[in-house]
């Protein structure tokens, strides 16, 4: 039998030529300069000598950066929807749900902190608490959860209080989506198109019927259908984030009160089932 020819070995990749690699940044911008890493990486100040306080700080700082990007995307998506230009919003909303997944997974990292370890530095937090995260409040306002009483926490910061007040008086992204339904000729109660945006959203029959029309004729209303499902993705992941938050808090501090005075796990259990876009969930039972 003839010998089977031996295939030629895969050629080794050609080494990269680094002769033009920039090494002098005395007159040009470096990676660290662009990202302001000197500021970011020097902003972790432990108030105790405990090793695990660094984990606690970085998890929360990283979460705030992701929240900043969520607000950036939601603000642009809302503007796109209000301009009746839905397609660009789909990419932005899809990105938001991916960012939310990062935030959900961050609880897994924080849950490596044991109760005994956390108690070693919890006293250093004083009255500071994640409950006071103004970016989280802005996200809730953008999604339609409006509670004027939460503004009291920011009364000592005049500019921030005004920013939050202004945001509370703006339509949510869901209000913009309801407006898009009306622009397509679907009947929406007029008082829901011109309501007081600072008030919490309440489920409405005309909105549910409009969404039902969309879901029953996907071909005609494909863009509105796509918008609805993107919003459901965000709502669903927000509930997952809350649930993982609740589980992590219970694992680390049990049923103690939060450092900011909240009821801790009891409060988180109360809010974990809240829906931002109620008609998009209730229609599923009717379909």
**Which residues are documented as binding site for substrate?**
56-60, 118, 122, 259
Instruction: For residue 161, give the H/E element and its range.
Output: helix 158-168
Tokens at 90, concatenated = 């789909």
Burial (CB < 10 A; 0-12, 13-18, 19+), residue 46, is middle
For residue 163, the SS3 value is: helix
CA distance 287 to 285: 6
Nearest 5°: phi and psi at 138?
Answer: -65, -40
Q: Phi/psi class of residue 114: alpha, beta or left (left: φ > 0; alpha: ψ in -120 to 50)?
A: beta
Q: Are 64 and 138 spatial neighbours (Cβ–Cβ below 8 Å)?
A: no
Contacts (Cβ under 8 Å, ≥6 apart) of 138: 71, 163, 164, 167
Q: Which residues sit in the known binding site? A: 56-60, 118, 122, 245, 259
Q: How many CA atoms lie within 13 A of 236 on its CB side?
A: 12
Annotated binding site for heme: 245
């Amino acid at each position: 039998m003839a010998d089977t020819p031996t295939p030629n070995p895969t050629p080794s990749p050609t080494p990269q030529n680094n002769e033009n690699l920039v090494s002098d940044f005395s007159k040009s911008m470096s990676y660290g300069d662009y990202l302001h890493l000197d500021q970011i990486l020097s902003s972790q100040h432990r108030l105790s000598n405990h090793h695990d306080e660094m984990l606690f700080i970085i998890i929360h700082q990283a979460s705030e950066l992701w929240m900043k990007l969520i607000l950036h995307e939601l603000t642009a998506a809302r503007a796109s929807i209000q301009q009746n230009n839905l397609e660009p919003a789909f990419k932005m909303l899809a990105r938001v749900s991916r960012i939310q997944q990062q935030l959900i997974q961050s609880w897994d990292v924080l849950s490596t902190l044991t109760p005994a370890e956390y108690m070693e530095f919890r006293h250093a937090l004083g009255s500071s608490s994640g409950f006071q995260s103004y970016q989280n409040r802005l996200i809730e306002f953008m999604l339609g959860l409006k509670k004027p009483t939460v503004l009291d926490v920011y009364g000592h910061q005049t500019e921030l209080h005004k920013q939050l007040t202004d945001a509370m008086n703006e339509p949510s992204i869901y209000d913009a989506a309801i407006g898009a339904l009306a622009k397509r000729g679907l009947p929406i109660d007029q008082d829901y198109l011109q309501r007081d945006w600072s008030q919490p959203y309440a489920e409405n029959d005309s909105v549910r019927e409009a969404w039902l029309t969309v879901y029953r004729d996907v071909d005609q209303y494909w863009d509105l259908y796509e918008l609805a499902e993107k919003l459901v993705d965000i709502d669903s992941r927000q509930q997952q984030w809350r649930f993982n938050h609740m589980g992590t808090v219970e694992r680390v501090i049990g049923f103690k009160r939060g450092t900011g005075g909240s009821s801790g796990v009891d409060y988180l259990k109360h809010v974990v089932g809240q829906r931002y876009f109620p008609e998009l969930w209730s229609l599923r039972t009717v379909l």
